[in-house]
Amino acid sequence: MLQLYRQILKAARDFPSGLTDGGKIAHCRELAERGLSDLQAYAVAAASSGESNINLKGATH
């Protein structure tokens, strides 16, 4: 689990490095926010009910 946490932090540090197009930056930010939202939803669901079955928004689309 610690390895995954480190990979997430490393990716976040570099994301979206090098982009200058405002539209692409906005799109990358939207994807990052959806991914974070999915992780937060999972954490809340797992903590409250022990269930890990949630519907993800699909951060890659």
pLDDT, tens only, 6-59: 988 888 888 888 889 999 999 988 988 988 888 888 777 777 766 666 666 665
Amino acid symbol at 29: R
Q: Which pLDDT score, from 0 to 100, does residue 56 have?
A: 65
Give the span between the Cα atoms of 42 and 53, in whole angstroms.
Answer: 8
Q: Which pLDDT score, from 0 to 100, does residue 17 have?
A: 83
More confident site: 3 or 52: 3
Instruction: Say how many CA atoms lie within 13 Å of 16 toward its Cβ.
Output: 15
Q: Where are the domains of the chain?
A: 2-49
More confident site: 55 or 3: 3
